Structure 1
Amino acid sequence: MGWTMTLDNDQRSIVQRILAKYLDGQALDQAVELWRYQYSKKPLQELNYFVFEIANSSELRSSRKQIVHDLQHGLELDVQQNLNHEPIPQSSPQKTLATVSSNNTQPHHDGIIKTADQIAINELFQQLLQSLKGQSELIVVLQEHLQGSQITPQYQHAFIHYVQTGEGLVEQFYLKDVLRQVINTLYTVMCDYFGPMKSDRYMAQAVAQIDQQYPAVMIKQYL
């Protein structure tokens, strides 16, 4: 799974120093606390989810990749420096930084899509949900459509929780068949509110923006 660490004072200061280039005041304090309590013990590749949560304004969305890069570079360097001062147990060989970095671009072996695609899918979800923002009884309508789909209850509940709270989806959610069904469900919900023509336009605009931001992902494979 990559490096897993406990955030000590030095690592916390690294996170704060890096994020200070992008956030300030209460937003910066909240981001550091979010890291401390939810992400400090998770693998470095989950930085993508952390940044997705904190960089949710229109001004910061375009900087997400750079924020992830800056955090990963700073924390990997700190971890490597610590490893250089500790003996490596013979019975538990350590992964190299190259191995950790490669995990961000390689598909998972259990059918879960690669991390870059997960980020793009999250962005697509946000674009589509933004178009539905403020619609009456949205959660009720969404639940009805999810229940009428072939999506299993655990994924239905996970997505509703995601929409209601904005918290990240668990990694097990990112199966291509599940994602296709969820995107199709969102489209049918949009059709209920806007009709097919307007929904097609919203979908096309969202896909075009994702294609521009993440050209290597080929987002249309999930539609």
Structure 2
Amino acid sequence: MSANPIQVQKRRIVYTALAQFLKGEELERAFRLWEKQYATKPVYALNEFVGKLGDSPALAGRRKEVIRTLLNLSQHPEGLLPDPVAGYGELTDFSKAAPAQYPERLDRIFEHFLVAVETVLPSDAFIQLRLNFLVRLADMKLNPTLKARLRLWFDSDGSGKVFSVVCTAPEIRRVVNQLYVVMCELFGPVRADDILEACVAWLERYHPVSVRDIRRFL
């Protein structure tokens, strides 16, 4: 089993991502599939790899979410689980262990929230939200770089989006407030509150370290 630092990090990234969705034997089978067929392939092969996991009930309808998690961890390898493979090739189950509690940058925390919004909303509802938010964005008092990044995020489709920009807590609070206003107008205040609660529940499951900070903006 390779002890090359690059390969070790790749194993940790894939295992950490898979452990957010799979447990026990399903996790081991998925990891062994990656290890056997994809460990030496470039990052774009992750799409094919996740496609081969489609028969897992735990991943039903979540292919986009799995790919996004793999790509995000590949680009920002923070809070990874330990290398699951012992020197003699045995798999150690770290899936129940909590990732290291590293503080995250504000833009990464906000990215988790944006992903949560896109994930919990049905696709047609998210399209309504993003179109109405983009109309409001032009008049918002934000620094131009942040505004451009928000426009790029909401204009883009696909799982490879990354929100990376210097921003401040007051700016993020204004953005979250505007998103909430748009939700209230589109869906009503009761459903808007339910959407935010669903976002928090998703974050508690997949990015628990960010929940306390996200709650400051809600």
TM-score w.r.t. the length of structure 2 is 0.52
Aligned equivalent of 1:12, options 6, 13, 19:
6
1:1-223 map, 5 Å: 10-19=4-13, 21=15, 22=18, 24-25=33-34, 29=38, 33-34=42-43, 56-57=65-66, 68-70=78-80, 104-105=102-103, 114-115=104-105, 118-130=107-119, 131=121, 133-135=123-125, 136=127, 138-163=129-154, 164-165=156-157, 166-173=160-167, 175-210=168-203, 213-214=208-209, 217-223=212-218
Matched pairs, number: 153
**CA RMSD of the aligned region, Å?**
4.2
Q: Distance in 1 between matches of 2:130 and 2:211?
A: 32
Distance 1:11 1:57 in 2: 24
TM-score, L = length of structure 1: 0.51
Q: 2:124 is matched by which residue type in structure 1?
A: G
Pick closer, same or farther for the CA change 1:17–1:129 going to 2, 3 Å: closer
- For the residues of structure 1 that align with 2:217 and 2:39, how far apart are their CA atoms? 34
Deviation at residue 203 of structure 1 after TM alignment:
1.4
Contact 1:12 1:32 in 2 (8 A): no
Give unmatched runs, 5+ long, in structure 2. 19-30, 45-62, 84-99
User: 2:65 is paired with a residue of what secondary structure?
Assistant: coil
Q: Secondary structure at the match of 1:177?
A: helix
In structure 1, stretches of 5+ residues that fail to align are 1-8, 36-53, 75-100, 106-113
Q: Is the 8 A contact 1:127 1:206 kept in 2?
A: yes
- One-letter amino acid of the structure 2 residue matched with residue 189 of structure 1: V
Q: Give the secondary structure class of the aligned counterpart of 1:214.
A: helix
Q: Is the 8 A contact 1:120 1:219 kept in 2?
A: yes
Q: What CA distance in whole angstroms lies between the structure 1 residues aligned with 2:64 and 2:7?
A: 19
* Map of 1:89 onto structure 2: none
In the TM superposition, what is the alpha-carbon distance from 1:134 to its structure 2 partner? 2.1
Q: How big is each residue's C-alpha offset from its partner over 1:61-86, in whole Å with a ceiling of 9 and x where there is no partner?
A: 9xx7xx84446x66xxxxxxxxxxxx
Q: Which runs of 4+ in 1 moved over 6 A?
A: none
CA distance in 1, matches of 2:34, 2:124: 29
